[in-house]
Chains A and B, each alone.
Chain A
Amino acid sequence: MTRRYSALSLFKEGLAGQTGWQPAWRSPEPKPSYDAIVIGGGGHGLATAYYLAKNHGIARVAVLEKGWIGGGNTGRNTTVVRSNYYYPESVELYGLAHRLYEGLSTDLNYNIMLSQRGMVNLCHSTAEMEIGARTVNAMQINGIDAELFSPDDVRRVAPIYNFSANARFPVFGGIWQGRAGTARHDAVAWGYARAASRLGVDIIQNCEITDFIIEGGRCRGVQTSRGAIRAERIGMAVAGHSSVLAAKAGFRLPINSYALQACVSEPVKPILDTVVLSPGCGVYVSQSDKGEIVIGGGLDRIPSYAQRGNLPTLEAVIAGLLEMFPIFGQLKLMRQWAGIVDVVPDSSPIIGESPLPGLFLNCGWGTGGFKAIPAGGTLLAHLLATGKHNDISRPFDLDRFASGRLIDEAAGSGIAH
């Protein structure tokens, strides 16, 4: 069986030339049928497979990935992990993810490099401070470790911020979550893949869904570029491509796909120790362990499936970054990229059975999917195993659009997530 990861095994392998390691996950040929199929080998899909095996004892599971695992938004995000949400439903969801993240390295025996360096959402006016207070109070009531920061507190965690008198967006304070931070995004995908594979899950890469097998009004499998694969329960976690699969299954979703861009500077020695978000500047930023300044901004304004960066958004984001941290004006941009995110009107995810019975959805995470991976996996696994909602996933069902029970964080807290 796969060798356990530890300092000792690394040391022993060091003496043996690192030749004893096994594949992190197996790459078997797909079987004709499984107990459950998960479409999408990103973080959510792999986590779903892992929890199906671990929590529900269902290991005859295939994860079908059109390209390479972790190649979508899991490998394209800015790696922030946090649960500073406003509504109780969101807190339950992202709080679950955050707690699971805290034990994930041990659980998976894979260092996902969770770095709880804290995150501050800045407030730039009295009005924003009032909403900040409203938000912090909501979080505290819901059991989240939020604090309302004074300008001095902000200065303590981000001393290189632009505190000059003529700053366009002066700091009135901020919303702080100390448990927030970053994790190594690729490692999350690989860690889940390795752990799921160990439990018997088949991870099938280069396997594209071409159609659904629908019999008696129910989804009973998929046609793929590697043949037909059947299962009674099928979950999909394909983010920005959800609408494409939904069209194959015969329904529409409340989703628009947009490019979300990110970029990194060249690596430099430690200069920024926390995650900082400025709503005024439209930018959030952290420094990776490698030393790159990791920069994220808002969505592109044009619906798109093109996974490429562009200049207008980049220019706006970088202008915002330099307004926040003028000393970054000496740095250079090293890499720019984009992921395709699935944006829902209320910016909350969709978890639940689709209009096609037997097909279950985990989508609509928009810009915030990475931080939710362990919860998205747990909840989709629960749905696939039991056919029923977990209490935490119930509010996020597709039926909320007809009932009007939207969970719009921006509506409540004024903070778009």
Chain B
Amino acid sequence: MTASRLATGGNAIDRSRPIRFSFDGATVEGFAGDTIASALLAGDVAVVGRSFKYHRPRGIWGAGVEEPNALVDIGGPRATPNTRATTEPARDGLVAKSVNATPNALADRNAFLDRFARFIPAAFYYKTFMWPDWHRFEPRIRAMAGLGTVDAGWTSPDTADQINHHCDLLVVGAGPAGLAAARLASGAGLTVTLVDDQQNPGGALGHRAGEVDGKPAAAWIAETVAALASAGQLILPSTTAFGIYDHNLVGLNQRHLDGRPDTLWRVRPREIVLATGAIERPLPFANNDLPGIMSADAALAYLRRHAVLVGRCIVIATNNDSAYDVAVALAEAGAEVTLVDIRRDGTPAAPANVRLATGRALASASGRLRVDGVTLDNATRLDADCVLVSGGWTPTIHLFGQAKGKLAWSDARAAFLPGDPVDGITVAGAAAGAVSLSDVFAGVGKAFAGQANAATPRSTGLEATGGILPAWPMPGSKGRIWIDYQNDVTVKDVELAARENFISVEHLKRYTTLGMATDQGKTSNLPGLALMAGITGRTVPEVGTTTYRPPFTPVPLASFAGARVGELMAPVRRLPLENAHRANGAVFQEYGGWLRPAHYGGNADAERSIADEARRARQSVALFDGSTLGKIEVIGPQAAAFVDFLYYNTMSTLKPGRCRYGFMLSENGVVFDDGVLVRLDEHRFVVSCSSSHVTAVYARLEEWRQDRFGRDAVYIHNATSDMATLTVSGPNARKLLETLDLGLSLDDADLPHMAVGHGTYAGDEIRIARVSFTGDRSYEISIRADRAEPLWAQLRQAGKALDAVVIGLEALMILRAEKGFIVIGKDTDGTTLPHDLGVEGPRAKRQSEFVGRRSLFTEEASRDNRMQLVGLTVPQGEAPLPTGAHGIKRIDGRLRSQGFVTSSYQSPTLGRPVALGLIERGAARHGEAIDIQNLGKISKATITAPCAFDPAGDRLHA
């Protein structure tokens, strides 16, 4: 007989609600309120998993977040590998599987590895597998590593909620300290949020005996929680505070019992109380990792919360007072208990019905798949079906450490305690080193002195005492003594690390992997560094601790992602006329963050649709939705001086009602954007920048406005999305517009190329700019975005008589490439200067200052072999050059890039391919042949001027 469920008791379980679930294929029975671990223990399942490296059989160690051994893969829609069985509620129908074990934890086929342990100590892999190549050995080692298994067929049922939350006080931990702090703060009128990672509040009071204000602990917990709830305070059970970030923002992960994904909370409290308790440490003795060896406190928790008696014949090994209560409780529950205390003197009195051996430690444990006995350091052998250990308590100060709190070593507690306070953070209770309830409450009372008017609770029961004699792992110990259970780090591994000079605590961690497992060393870090201190003759604080990093316990990735899935992760911008385009068979693609029609006519034979659009656009008239084009207004007394400074080209000489094409440069001289500037009147301009640069151009204008010109000199308004821009282009463009009533003269004398006019359409003001990106006569009509649809519909309707064609962006790309018109970022790269594009004038002549000016005269800018914009043609009958192909030349026997193809299309109008490229010295090489390489294949091309169609520009006016 070993572990079992008692017939009565268990303050966390509901015996009226039995549940069943499966573990490694076997059925496990339990009750609502059980964790997977408590149900497994109740069913006397000793081996629950296999260790990472040696595949040692492992049982349940703890009853909380510190658990190193009991990890299970949970299947189904809420599949999660590596779930801690000690904190995961047991649910009816749940399917759990042990990790790192094939086929199961009991009969793992890799168990043989343990026999070779002596040949594979810490970091052995750095010393071998070098020849011929690590990659040869890697696949097999990789397959052995990892713990749980990802369910490849899993799909996310829904996304996690994320909540921003503010409060006066956040209390982390609902044990006695946290409850007391929350109640005091609540009484003082603060808004309080109380979180605890357990399902039930109370912390250690949930299983340790105690009396508060004359009431049993359970009654006081219930009363306190009720008082907080009735005061409207927020209490979040099953919620872990996993990180304290900049400016004391606290991250919480809340689990739900109803199957919903966890919820991420970002809490911004004014003050934080960390009442996070303490974690019991193991003791060092040979084979201290056998299943059936557990934390003494955990055994008590299972007894009181789940009515599980972890054994019948129990040895408790301790170095401190806290195990005595455990011995009493287990003996009362019917177990035969032997308490082995390392201390010779100063121990509490022997509890009734408990055998006590003082001045003795465990030397080793024995057993194969579970512990069957221990041998003391005087060679006495004791049989046991369960061995409980209490090596002292490590205050849970991870969050304090994350907040950059300094730690202070306490000899009295044999642990690190919080040192100098951190602004806004108070550590209370066992986390601050308090042992007795009186100490806990006194500490909380002190923290709220002068603030709260309610009385601090008083412990009226028996008081826990904190006597401890450190029992750190010692160098030279016999046998295999585990420090880090999950990662299989033993005393010998730490000794090896020290021998090889990995004595810095971070080196120790990285070399041996101590503390790097999923439990992040909650039970192993302190023993490990104490051992290193012992080996190297230093004190523990001299060795120091590793950095505390978030998260405190593993947090689902889904919690961090929240609803940011698909378009919510990276939104796209949409056209006001999107629905009209969809109705017209548009195929959409994303261009520079905008979803725009690539072409019309559906997905079938896209290439032909695009070619048709490009060809017909030249024949009569094309309609194009250019709404994404930037429309940033620059207004004010210094507007002209401002655009002069911002543009490479002189813009102040532009006459009102006219437009001019120009470049904007970055301060490093590189062409950042191109576009047309419209001068509406003396003090008002419209910057018509590229669609994908609107946000960046606007930001730049604002920066120079505020940083150089001043608030009152110019005002900048980004009107891009206020207005839709509909482009009418082609030989019959004017003819089409004349069929509409636009309230202005379209006569070329009144509205010539590069002029802007104002009219009205259906009562709305419109602006028409004679600007062309196709090389044909073009009109860009800007109209209120919400009134654009009727105009678009009428243009299409009126266009029917003229065989008008609606074109998408792909056809426009062909049309502009035929003309040698560039797209910044496609036909230029991040090194292209304005003179590389053949625009030398302002560089040579401008006298006034402009952005990027000085950079146009560096050594690099003056180099004579710069890449310059060219056209490229291919021999007759050949296919278009692949965009991205490079011009090549062999120099000194080495292949060198001469530049590359930036745009390349089959021109339906010219009946041949057209291409643009940036080629070294290209402007001077027109007519020269060049080798073009693409994915290893070489072809020929001829360098030409960029413009392949209507070089004289007659069609602009035709």
| A18 and B118 contact, CB distance less than 8 A | yes
> What are 24 A-B pairs at a CB distance below 8 A?
A6-B127, A10-B119, A88-B897, A105-B130, A111-B128, A115-B135, A115-B138, A117-B135, A125-B589, A130-B883, A133-B884, A137-B900, A141-B933, A142-B895, A142-B897, A167-B566, A186-B511, A266-B147, A266-B554, A268-B149, A271-B150, A291-B146, A306-B246, A336-B243
Residue among B150, B562, B831, B888 making CB contact with A141, cutoff 8 Å: B888
CA–CA, A323 to B668, complex, Å?
36
Contacts of B118 in A (CB 8 A): 14-15, 17-18
How does the 8 Å CB contact mask read for B916-931 relative to A, with 1 for contact and 0 for none? 0000000000000000
Nearest CB of B to A13, in Å? 8
| A111 and B154 contact, CB distance less than 8 A | no
| A133 and B885 contact, CB distance less than 8 A | yes
How does the 8 Å CB contact mask read for A123-149 relative to B, with 1 for contact and 0 for none? 001110111111111101110000010
Say yes or no for B549: interface residue by CB 8 A criterion. Answer: yes
| A17 and B567 contact, CB distance less than 8 A | no
Nearest CB of A to B699, in Å? 14
Say yes or no for A314: interface residue by CB 8 A criterion. Answer: yes
How does the 8 Å CB contact mask read for A390-408 relative to B, with 1 for contact and 0 for none? 0000000000001111101
Residue among A17, A18, A116, A334 making CB contact with B554, cutoff 8 Å: A334
Say yes or no for B662: interface residue by CB 8 A criterion. Answer: no
Say yes or no for B844: interface residue by CB 8 A criterion. Answer: no
Say yes or no for A27: interface residue by CB 8 A criterion. Answer: yes
CA–CA, A348 to B31, complex, Å?
61
Stretch of B276-284, B439-447, B496-504 on the interface side: B496-504
A290 nearest in chain B by CB position: B145
B162 nearest in chain A by CB position: A315
Q: Given A160-B152, A319-B561, A333 and B566 touching (CB < 8 A)?
A: no
| A267 and B860 contact, CB distance less than 8 A | no
| A333 and B554 contact, CB distance less than 8 A | yes
Contacts of A331 in B (CB 8 A): 80-81, 150, 556-557
- Which residues between 327 and 364 of chain A lie within 8 Å of chain B, taking CB atoms? 327-337, 345
B505 nearest in chain A by CB position: A68
Nearest 8 pairs between A and B by C-beta?
A411-B830, A291-B146, A133-B884, A404-B860, A404-B858, A332-B554, A23-B501, A14-B119
Contacts A111-B126, A315-B561 supplied; 11 other A-B pairs, CB < 8 Å? A7-B129, A15-B118, A75-B510, A88-B896, A110-B127, A133-B935, A135-B884, A187-B126, A332-B82, A334-B554, A412-B831
Q: Given A141-B896, A290-B145, A68 and B126 touching (CB < 8 A)?
A: no
| A404 and B518 contact, CB distance less than 8 A | no
Contacts of B124 in A (CB 8 A): 10
| B551 and A289 contact, CB distance less than 8 A | no
- Which residues between 329 and 369 of chain B lie within 8 Å of chain A, taking CB atoms? none
CA–CA, A14 to B120, complex, Å?
8
Q: Given A322-B557, A323-B566, A270 and B146 touching (CB < 8 A)?
A: yes
CA–CA, A266 to B555, complex, Å?
10
A4 nearest in chain B by CB position: B127
| B570 and A168 contact, CB distance less than 8 A | yes
| A408 and B119 contact, CB distance less than 8 A | no
How does the 8 Å CB contact mask read for B546-585 relative to A, with 1 for contact and 0 for none? 0101110011111011101111011000000000000000
| B561 and A290 contact, CB distance less than 8 A | no
CA–CA, A62 to B506, complex, Å?
22
Q: Given A18-B492, A266-B82, A333-B555, A319 and B562 touching (CB < 8 A)?
A: yes
Contacts of B855 in A (CB 8 A): 404
Say yes or no for A224: interface residue by CB 8 A criterion. Answer: no
Residue among B119, B148, B402, B896 making CB contact with A266, cutoff 8 Å: B148
Say yes or no for B209: interface residue by CB 8 A criterion. Answer: no
Say yes or no for A309: interface residue by CB 8 A criterion. Answer: yes
Residue among A10, A265, A289 making CB contact with B142, cutoff 8 Å: A289
Contacts of B669 in A (CB 8 A): 404
How does the 8 Å CB contact mask read for B822-850 relative to A, with 1 for contact and 0 for none? 00001001110000000000000000000
CA–CA, A191 to B266, complex, Å?
42
CA–CA, A111 to B124, complex, Å?
10
| B861 and A266 contact, CB distance less than 8 A | no
| B125 and A271 contact, CB distance less than 8 A | no
CA–CA, A326 to B886, complex, Å?
37
Contacts of B885 in A (CB 8 A): 133-134, 137
CA–CA, A109 to B128, complex, Å?
9
A319 nearest in chain B by CB position: B564
CA–CA, A307 to B402, complex, Å?
11
Contacts of A403 in B (CB 8 A): 858-860
Q: Given A111-B126, A403-B860, A404-B859, A138 and B897 touching (CB < 8 A)?
A: yes
Contacts of B79 in A (CB 8 A): 330
CA–CA, A110 to B125, complex, Å?
9
CA–CA, A206 to B556, complex, Å?
38
| A332 and B884 contact, CB distance less than 8 A | no
Say yes or no for A78: interface residue by CB 8 A criterion. Answer: no
Contacts of A306 in B (CB 8 A): 246
| A411 and B130 contact, CB distance less than 8 A | no
- Which residues between 80 and 116 of chain A lie within 8 Å of chain B, taking CB atoms? 88, 105-106, 109-116
CA–CA, A327 to B80, complex, Å?
10
- Which residues between 1 and 58 of chain A lie within 8 Å of chain B, taking CB atoms? 5-7, 9-11, 14-15, 17-19, 21-27
B904 nearest in chain A by CB position: A130
| B520 and A334 contact, CB distance less than 8 A | yes
CA–CA, A395 to B52, complex, Å?
47
A117 nearest in chain B by CB position: B135
Contacts of A167 in B (CB 8 A): 566
CA–CA, A75 to B504, complex, Å?
14
Q: Given A322-B557, A323-B565, A328-B557, A127 and B826 touching (CB < 8 A)?
A: yes
Say yes or no for B378: interface residue by CB 8 A criterion. Answer: no
- Which residues between 254 and 283 of chain A lie within 8 Å of chain B, taking CB atoms? 265-271, 280-281
Q: Given A88-B896, A115-B135, A309 and B550 touching (CB < 8 A)?
A: yes
| B499 and A323 contact, CB distance less than 8 A | no
| A23 and B135 contact, CB distance less than 8 A | no
| A291 and B145 contact, CB distance less than 8 A | yes
Contacts of A148 in B (CB 8 A): 935
Residue among A106, A111, A116, A411 making CB contact with B125, cutoff 8 Å: A111
| A332 and B555 contact, CB distance less than 8 A | yes
Say yes or no for A192: interface residue by CB 8 A criterion. Answer: no
Contacts of B504 in A (CB 8 A): 67-68, 71, 205
Residue among A268, A281, A335 making CB contact with B81, cutoff 8 Å: A268
Say yes or no for B141: interface residue by CB 8 A criterion. Answer: yes
Say yes or no for A310: interface residue by CB 8 A criterion. Answer: yes
Say yes or no for B46: interface residue by CB 8 A criterion. Answer: no
CA–CA, A314 to B557, complex, Å?
10
How does the 8 Å CB contact mask read for B524-565 relative to A, with 1 for contact and 0 for none? 000000000000000000000001011100111110111011
Residue among B143, B266, B561 making CB contact with A311, cutoff 8 Å: B266
Say yes or no for B450: interface residue by CB 8 A criterion. Answer: no
Say yes or no for B661: interface residue by CB 8 A criterion. Answer: no
A160, A280, A322, most chain B CB atoms within 10 A: A322
Say yes or no for B237: interface residue by CB 8 A criterion. Answer: no
Say yes or no for B507: interface residue by CB 8 A criterion. Answer: yes
Q: Given A22-B500, A116-B135, A311-B249, A335 and B557 touching (CB < 8 A)?
A: no
CA–CA, A403 to B125, complex, Å?
48
| A111 and B127 contact, CB distance less than 8 A | yes
CA–CA, A136 to B936, complex, Å?
10
Contacts of A187 in B (CB 8 A): 126
